[in-house]
Structure 1
Amino acid sequence: MTDDLSANYAKAYGNKAGFGKRPALVLIDFAKAYFDPACDLFAGVDDALASALRVREAARAAGVSIVLTEVTYHKGGRDGGRFFEKALPLRNFVKGEEMAEFADGLVPKDDEIVVSKQYPSAFFGTSLASTLTAGGHDSVILTGLTTSGCVRATCVDAMSHGFITTVVADACGDRHPAPHEANLFDMNAKYADVVSEAEIIAYLGTLRSE
């Protein structure tokens, strides 16, 4: 086995899935909690949000369906089960908490779907898979927070539900570069194609011209 990580993985996982023909863009959990330094979920991911907003505008111009996800719990977190018990910062997402609101600059538009969830994956316990299938979508473009948590979980489930999956690296963020980069690397190897903002905007531009 080679000591070079990229060369090692390329021998087994060098395949590319490519883009689908009818994608949907998913913006995962861009909540105020990740942008407020006073919050224990603060991650300093302003660049990821800025990138996601640019991708969103390109998607809208191309007529691509857009989904926003939010995490929300009843008071006490009873609907959060073991996840709420384990991850104490989830208390910031109890319904009514300011930190649970969408980040500044990300206001859902009337034609965008908002999916409320209690667990990491945007697919688990929600109608997202059925909604995308009914809409004729064959693929998803993922952006959001955090790379090692809800983005990764959504990526694995998207692939498992049969959607061609693309993750936009610039439009994802985490509280530390190490888990961010490690999870992008692993998703790209096994579950999705990880691309740059420039690559995804160029692809969306081809849809616009069709």
Structure 2
Amino acid sequence: MFENLLNISDAAKLLGVSPSTLRRMEKTGNIEEYGLKVIYTPGGQRRYILDEVQQLFSNQGFSGQIGFGTKPALLIRDFTIAFTEPHSQLAIKMDHQITATQQLIEQALNDKIPIIFSKTIYETENKVSRLWCEKFPSLQILDRESTWVNIHPDLSDYPYDLINATVYISSLYDDQVDDFLKDRQIDTLILAGTTTSGSIRATAVDALQRGYRVIIPKEAVGDRNQTLQNSTLVDLNARYADVMNLDKVLKGMKP
């Protein structure tokens, strides 16, 4: 039950206040006026509900809603064997992300929305790839010819409009993806995949800077632990994207 909760430090940082302020608000009984509840773990640690912290951002003017445009595309990043196989060095914490992504793909196919699959590869001759690998050595397993970069079996048989292998953190750094979107006059990018704090975040920032509306269905992205996942989603929603539940995204994809 504690997976979608933030600790007091993360909640305070995202709200722009100090942990002592949250403790004081709780002591005086004022914290519920802001729509926040305090939950205690069996060990007595304070936790705050992710959705409530995210809602407080919106209610207090910390973030607005961009919403859908008229021409969306779905971009899936790194739901490959390397990031989804539990024994992999790069594995994320898996819940229902693959099932959620399947629903997004089915909706996109039904509504003729373009679908891109972008996957990280490691190339020894590429300077950027080598540099990223110095910081993150586990990337060395992502050789272009290895089975680690194969698409997850439950997603591999879909007819993608573009499969993009990239050495870059942002999927839009490659002209191939950006040109694909521009050629189709795409104005909204729906992001699924991993990692939320890595390539998803980088792609969201890059997409916004290039003029795309960014939508992130929270059930369809993943990271290596729930705390990192939660704090990144709140920050993305506050700054660069609309983070929504899956049902709302599926409805927004319909013409």
Say whether the fold is shared (TM-score over 0.5): yes
- Structure 2 CA distance, aligned partners of 1:153 and 1:79? 15
Match in the other structure for 1:173? 222
Q: Structure 1 13/108 Cα, relative in aligned 2: closer, same or farther at 3 Å?
A: farther
1:41 aligned partner: 90
Looking at structure 2, the residues matched to 190 and 26 of structure 1 have their Cα atoms a distance apart, in angstroms, of: 20
Q: Which residue matches 2:46?
A: none
Q: Which residue of 2 aligns with 1:26?
A: 75
Does 105-114 or 179-188 show the bigger shift?
A: 105-114
- The answer for the alignment partner of 2:152 in structure 1 is 103
> In 2, Cα distance between the equivalents of 1:87 and 1:10?
38
Return the offset for 1:46. 4.7
Unaligned runs of 5+ in 1: none
Which consecutive unaligned segments of at least 5 residues does structure 2 have? 1-16, 23-33, 35-52
Q: Which residue does the alignment assign to 1:112?
A: 161
* Deviation digits for residues 147-194 of structure 1 (CA, Å, limit 9, x no counterpart): 111111111111011001101100001110011111110110111100
Of the three residues 191, 196, 201, the one matched with 1:152 is 201
Residue range with higher mean Cα deviation, 30-39 or 163-172: 30-39
Q: How many residues align?
A: 206
* Deviates further, 32-41 or 179-188: 32-41
Secondary structure, counterpart of 1:16 in structure 2: coil
Contact 1:169 1:184 in 2 (8 A): yes
User: Residue 110 of structure 1: CA displacement?
Assistant: 4.3
Q: Map Cα deviations across residues 34-91 of structure 1 (whole Å, 9 max, x no partner).
A: 2222211122325111111111101110110101001122357655031121101101
Q: How far off its partner does 1:101 sit? A: 1.1
Give the distance between the partners of 1:83 and 1:12, measured in 2 at CA: 36
SS at the partner of 2:144? coil
Q: Is the 8 A contact 1:165 1:193 kept in 2?
A: yes
User: Quick one: distance in 1 between partners of 2:232 and 2:130?
Assistant: 25
What is the aligned-residue identity percentage?
25
Name the structure 1 match of 2:252. 203
Relative to structure 2, which stretch is displaced further, 42-51 or 131-140? 42-51
Q: The residue matched to 2:219 in structure 1 has which SS?
A: strand
Once the two structures are superposed, the pairs formed by residues 113-152 of structure 1 within 5 Å of their partners are: 113-152=162-201
TM-score, scaled to structure 2: 0.75
2: distance between equivalents of 1:8 and 1:15? 9
Report the secondary structure of 1:91's partner residue: helix
TM-score by length of 1: 0.90
Shift of 1:122: 0.3
CA contact (8 A) 1:35 1:46 kept: no
Q: Is the contact between residue 68 and residue 113 of structure 1 (CA under 8 Å) also seen in structure 2? A: yes
Cα deviation per residue 1:96-132 (whole Å; 9 max; x = unaligned)? 2211111111126445211111121101134212220
Q: Kindly provide the amino acid, as one letter, of the partner of residue 56 in structure 1.
A: I
Cα RMSD (Å) of the superposition? 2.0
Larger Rg belongs to: 2
Residue of structure 1 equivalent to 2:129: 80
Residue 106 of structure 2 corresponds to residue 57 of structure 1 = yes
2:5 alignment counterpart:
none
Q: Which secondary structure does the structure 2 equivalent of 1:13 belong to?
A: coil
Query: Does the 8 Å CA contact 1:148/1:183 hold for their aligned counterparts?
Result: yes
Bigger relative contact order (CA 8 A; separation at least 6): 1
- Structure 1 counterpart of 2:73, which letter? A
Residue 8 (structure 1) shift? 5.8
In structure 2, how many angstroms separate the alpha carbons of the residues matched to 1:11 and 1:130?
37
